[in-house]
Amino acid sequence: MFKRLVLIVLLLLAAVLLYLLLWPVPISPAAWTPADAPALSGDYEKNSRLEGVQRLSLGPGFAPEGLAIDSESRIYAGLDDGRIMRLQANGTRPEVFANTQGRPLGMKFDADGNLILADANKGLLSISRDGSITVLSTQADGVPFRCTNDLDIAADGTIYFTDASSKYPLSNYKADILEHQPNGRLLAYDPKTKLTKIILSHLCFANGVAVSPDQSFVLVVETGKYRVHRVWLNQGPTERGIVQSRNWPHGPKYGRSDIFIDNLPGFPDGLSSNDKDKFWLALVAPRDATLDKLLPYPFLRKVVYRLPKFLQPAPKRYSFVLGLDPNGRVVDNLQNGSPQCYAQIANVVEHQGALYFGSIGESALGRFALR
């Protein structure tokens, strides 16, 4: 009897081992070796500045990741069940503004008062003042969006937005992170022609977007490589003395890209401009040492993908927001690692002396008074 029991256990262990090593998976991981994660010192010195975040209740619901503020200072946020909630300027009286039946993420109001929305499941949408929804774009160059993520609107009305992955939906975002293939794109939608074009491709999980206050460039977050790209739209700040010709209306750097900030200490997510002198970057969680060690080894990441979800790397509860100047230098460092922190901040919007936070790990919005 004992020998039979041992044999059964060995067979079960062999079956589990074969499953972990050989079971087919949808991911095709690419090897990538990240730079060593920067220590939480210097520009990234640990602190508890975000311990005073006020939670603004949205009622029942979870993960208000995207947020926007209208001309009357009312606050909007999208929940994981498709509802977009609206709060009054003082953060009270939550009410349903619209329901996309999808997953609303990045959002911003255009010049006409429409709420432009990146819905992970539905594409790029426009929601009028009465809550009516219009689909603006669902594909670019024949490739459908699988995870429409974040956006910003330029002064000329162009909507710059991201498709985080052309392969995996948001519900399986871990697959894209573990695969680490360049499935993401930065796109531009022209409301006059109603055409969508690709601005920058081959991004590992394209995420937050922000247009510079002077309209000279647009930033896009590449979460999978812990960095932010800059794509030039007009004259760069070092070229303001150059007279542009009619044959070169966008300036000599138009369309070129470079790295704005690299090797961040966490997973960069949402990005916004305060329209003056600063970009706010949300780090949804600190870097994961286990994931960094796995990234050079595609086979091991297939094994991890086969593990139960509770054994896979996951975002840790932590508050982390950086302020960046127009040259990509860190000028603000806001953190909190306490158990009660407003955690997993995914978006930051500055408005009238306060920062408003969206999160993938909370049921409320956050508000933090700047000092």
Q: Is the pLDDT of residue 348 over 50?
A: yes
Note the pLDDT tens digit of each residue in 17-35.
665 665 678 899 999 999 9
User: For the chain, which domains are there?
Assistant: 2-236+244-369 (2.120.10.30)
pLDDT of residue 254 exceeding 80, the answer is no
Average pLDDT, integer, range 68-81: 98
pLDDT, mean of residues 266-294: 97
Residue 13 pLDDT greater than 80, yes or no: no
Query: Is 260 or 252 the better-scoring residue by pLDDT?
Result: 260
d(CA 324, CA 179): 29
Cα–Cα nearest to 136, from 117, 155, 156, 113: 117
What distance in Å separates the CA atoms of residue 86 and residue 96, rounded to the nearest whole number?
Answer: 6
At 66, list the tokens: 């995207």
**Residue 74: per-residue pLDDT:** 98
> Could you report the per-residue pLDDT of 103-144, keeping only the tens digit for each?
999 999 999 999 999 999 999 999 999 999 999 999 999 999
- Give the Cα separation of 118 and 124 in Å (integer): 5
The pTM for the full model equals 0.92
**Token pair listed for 263:** 């090797």
How many other CB atoms are there within 10 angstroms of residue 70's CB atom?
Answer: 15
How confident is residue 170, by pLDDT bands cut at 50, 70 and 90? very high
Residue 74 main-chain phi, psi, to 5 deg: -75, 150
For residue 142 the two structure tokens come to 């024949």
Q: What digits encode the pLDDT tens for the residues 157-169?
A: 999 999 999 999 9
CA distance 348 to 318: 15
